Amino acid sequence: MTTNFNFRAPPRIVAEVGGVARLGELARELGCKRPLVVCDPGIVACGIAARALDALESAGLAPQFFDGVAADPPVATVHAGVEVARRADADGVIGLGGGSSLDTAKVIALLARSSQSIDELYGVDLAVGGRLPLIQVPTTAGTGSEVTWVSVITNERNEKKAVYTPQLLPDVALLDAELTLGMPPRVTAATALDAMVHAIEGYTSRTKKSPVADALARKALELLAGNLPRVLADGRDVEARAAMLQGAMLGGMAFVNASVAAIHGLAYPLGARFHVPHGHANALVMGPVLRFNLRAATALYAELAPCVLPGRRFDSVAEAAEAFVATMEGLAGSGGLETRLGAFGVSGDDIPAMADEVITQIQRLIATNPCDLDRDDVSAIYRSIL
């Protein structure tokens, strides 16, 4: 039983199908006249950026625009965005897109009027002062970044570095399922698996589990597992898309307060070194890490089994836990995702350096895992999916 916890969440979450049309009204309520829309070229190409800009202009605002975000946002992207915000005299920031855009938007909102450099922010609670008004609009379901107080940036040495500070929580998270209807199946599957891993790792956190995060994680997993087959069968199913978006949001709140663990720890080097999309990287290592953890996490995995296998009866805790792990293993290839590292050019020669990175740089994520992993364990997990 957890007696102490510290839970942070944004003050306002608006979930509304078609809600992007109200973006101008929401920005005006925050006092914005020249908000900077932060997105990537993919969000422009699929017409989502135009919808957001139209909504802002229709409300009489003068939106500014930065579409220079790249996946696993490199620090250079953040610098470029801060420069645009300053030059345009932006008085607010609107993150629009997947986690890469939302993470970039957060840090731009924080740095635009700050004298701190991003290097001073990596870590926990190191930012001084406020930020520009911030609205976050996710288009994947997903990272949950719209409700988290962390931003993950790739530094000059290709390492994923995290800024954790409550100023990164937005004023408003706007969930519009219509914006997710056009997500291709692979992006749908990869981002959904990321969200499911957030819920699982938050629920099994060794250090920061809390009753609030637990409740959110279970509901997240139920929504995500229940609706992933529907959105993969019909990407235009708006009700199922809305459920996925809500599941991802709940998973985000769970993990950021309870922490992710070894699945994310082993996924990070795949993203930073081989540009495996974040959700796909999690999907690749998820099965073997869950199986590795099974002995230490039997009771907790058994508690999660009904979320992914509703209505199934289990004769024992061990059977429920095994069914949970097997179900998750079965989801790893959803949407046609490759399940071997070789598909991304990773070879056996790369494993020692990746394992070193996990053990030295990302130790904090091992500390929250249900059990310890050493360098050999990490290497063996990578080798099992070569």
Ligand X SMILES: NC(=O)c1ccc[n+]([C@@H]2O[C@H](COP(=O)([O-])OP(=O)(O)OC[C@H]3O[C@@H](n4cnc5c(N)ncnc54)[C@H](O)[C@@H]3O)[C@@H](O)[C@H]2O)c1
Write out the residues near ligand X by the rule CB under 6 A. 40, 42-43, 46, 71-73, 97-101, 103, 139-140, 142-145, 148, 150-152, 179-180, 182-183, 187, 191, 194, 252, 256, 278-279
Q: Which does 368 bind (CB under 5 to 8 A by kind): Fe ion, ligand X, none?
A: none
Please say which residue, 257 or 298, places its beta carbon nearer to Fe ion.
257
Please state the closest distance from residue 313 (CB atom) to ligand X, in A: 34
Which one, of 170, 176, 225, lies nearest residue 43 by Cα? 176
Phi, psi of 178 (to 5 degrees): -60, -30
CB 324 within 8 A of CB 331: no
Chain position whose Cβ is nearest to Fe ion: 194
- Strands 172-175 and 13-15, how do they pair? parallel
Q: Which does 231 bind (CB under 5 to 8 A by kind): Fe ion, ligand X, none?
A: none
Which one, of 94, 66, 92, lies nearest residue 78 by Cα? 66
Is residue 176 at the binding interface for Fe ion, with CB under 5 A as the rule?
no
Q: Which does 46 bind (CB under 5 to 8 A by kind): ligand X, Fe ion, none?
A: ligand X
Q: What is the DSSP string of 4-70?
A: -------S-EEE-TTGGGGHHHHHHHTT-SSEEEE--HHHHHTTHHHHHHHHHHHTT---EEE----
Length of the chain: 386
The residue range among 25-33, 149-157, 187-195, 206-214 that interacts with Fe ion, by the rule CB under 5 A, is 187-195
Residue 35, token pair as written in the block? 């908000």
- Strands 160-164 and 150-154, how do they pair? antiparallel
Please say which residue, 72 or 194, places its beta carbon nearer to Fe ion.
194
How many chain residues touch Fe ion (CB under 5 A)?
A: 1
- Tell me the C-alpha distance between 305 and 318, whole Å: 11
Please say which residue, 91 or 176, places its beta carbon nearer to ligand X.
176
Please state the closest distance from residue 24 (CB atom) to ligand X, in A: 20
Please say which residue, 268 or 323, places its beta carbon nearer to ligand X.
268
- Tell me the C-alpha distance between 165 and 204, whole Å: 23
Please state the closest distance from residue 326 (CB atom) to ligand X, in A: 25
Is residue 194 at the binding interface for Fe ion, with CB under 5 A as the rule?
yes
Enumerate helices (H) and strands (E) in the chain, giving the number of each. 15, 9
CA dihedral 15, 53, 231, 281 (to 10 degrees): -100
Please state the closest distance from residue 197 (CB atom) to ligand X, in A: 9
Which one, of 65, 62, 69, 2, lies nearest residue 27 by Cα? 62
Q: Which does 24 bind (CB under 5 to 8 A by kind): ligand X, Fe ion, none?
A: none
208: number of Cβ within 10 Å: 18
Q: Which does 145 bind (CB under 5 to 8 A by kind): Fe ion, ligand X, none?
A: ligand X
Q: Which does 210 bind (CB under 5 to 8 A by kind): ligand X, Fe ion, none?
A: none
Enumerate residues 6+ apart whose C-beta is below 8 A from 116.
127, 128, 129
Q: Which does 136 bind (CB under 5 to 8 A by kind): Fe ion, ligand X, none?
A: none
Please say which residue, 103 or 194, places its beta carbon nearer to Fe ion.
194
Is residue 72 at the binding interface for Fe ion, with CB under 5 A as the rule?
no
Q: Where are the beta strands (DSSP E) in the chain?
A: 13-15, 35-38, 64-66, 92-97, 123-124, 134-138, 150-154, 160-164, 172-175
Please state the closest distance from residue 258 (CB atom) to ligand X, in A: 13
Q: Which does 151 bind (CB under 5 to 8 A by kind): ligand X, Fe ion, none?
A: ligand X
Please state the closest distance from residue 97 (CB atom) to Fe ion, in A: 15
Please state the closest distance from residue 278 (CB atom) to ligand X, in A: 4
| Chain positions contacting Fe ion, by CB under 5 A | 194
